[in-house]
């Protein structure tokens, strides 16, 4: 933890923040479009994923962390995605309502 050399520079975080705000407004505007369910969901979720990526990578400093942190984070998200996928191997083929 060498702190003395770092100086306070808000530029980076503010750029990231602006990108996040931009994406937020974009996703709100895009949700107004009439492009069918799957399309809308897909867009909303990919924008959300981008935003989450920005927060994780910059705000949560994954960019400065050793490889092992990135591997762990990937593992966690891959696990979650797998759970979704396999659960839907049931629901996609079964009418529940």
Among 34, 36, 67, 95, binds another protein (CB under 8 A): 95
Query: Quick check: 26 binds another protein (CB under 8 A)?
Result: no
Alpha helices in 1-97 (DSSP H): 11-31, 37-54, 67-91
Which residues are within 8 A (CB) of 58 and not within 5 positions of it... i.e. 6 or more apart? 12, 13, 16
45, 81 contact by CB (below 8 A): no
Query: Quick check: 71 binds another protein (CB under 8 A)?
Result: no
Binding-site ranges for another protein (CB under 8 A): 1, 3-4, 6-10, 13-14, 16-17, 20-21, 24-25, 27-28, 31, 37, 40-41, 44-45, 47-48, 51-52, 55-56, 58-60, 66, 68-69, 72-73, 75-77, 79-80, 82-84, 86-97
């Amino acid at each position: 933890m060498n702190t003395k050399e770092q100086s306070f520079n808000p530029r980076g975080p503010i750029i990231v923040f602006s990108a996040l705000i931009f994406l937020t407004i974009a996703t709100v505007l895009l949700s107004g479009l009439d492009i069918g369910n799957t399309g809308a969901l897909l867009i909303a979720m990919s924008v959300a994923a981008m935003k989450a990526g920005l927060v994780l990578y910059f705000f949560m400093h994954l960019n400065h962390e050793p490889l092992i942190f990135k591997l762990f984070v990937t593992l966690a998200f891959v696990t979650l995605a797998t759970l979704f996928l396999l659960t839907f191997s049931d629901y996609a083929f079964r009418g529940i309502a």
